[in-house]
Structure 1
Amino acid sequence: QYFVRLKDNTNGYDTAYPGVEILPDGTFLVTTYGHWAQGEPPYILSERLKLSELDELAKQPAK
């Protein structure tokens, strides 16, 4: 189980409304809403992640 932070929200707690889909090839498509750029209006952010990528990141030392 992983906790994945895609990006820092710059405007309090007005964020989230997340959606997660698992595509046929096993890729996770995660979509969320937030204020991702200081002083800019909110927008929708989507990322594609593979479990193998997360596993590799988890092996790296914390920064």
Structure 2
Amino acid sequence: MLRLALFFLIVSIIAGLFGFGGISSAAAGMAKILFFIAVIICVVLFAMVLIGVGAVSK
């Protein structure tokens, strides 16, 4: 997911350099959304590891 966010960021920068403002802002918005989704997933998984959800217990 972070790879896709980075792709949209690069597309946004290139579109901005060539003067395509609408495409640039749309790609930047998608990059922001995907980045924050990835951060939320990372935090949730980290919290699950800390509380031991899914751990194998004997």
**TM-score tier after normalising by the smaller chain length:** under 0.3
Higher relative contact order (Cα pairs below 8 Å, separated by 6+ residues): 2
Q: Which has the higher helix share?
A: 2
**What TM-score, normalized by structure 2, do the two folds share?**
0.28
**Bigger proportion of residues as strand:** 1
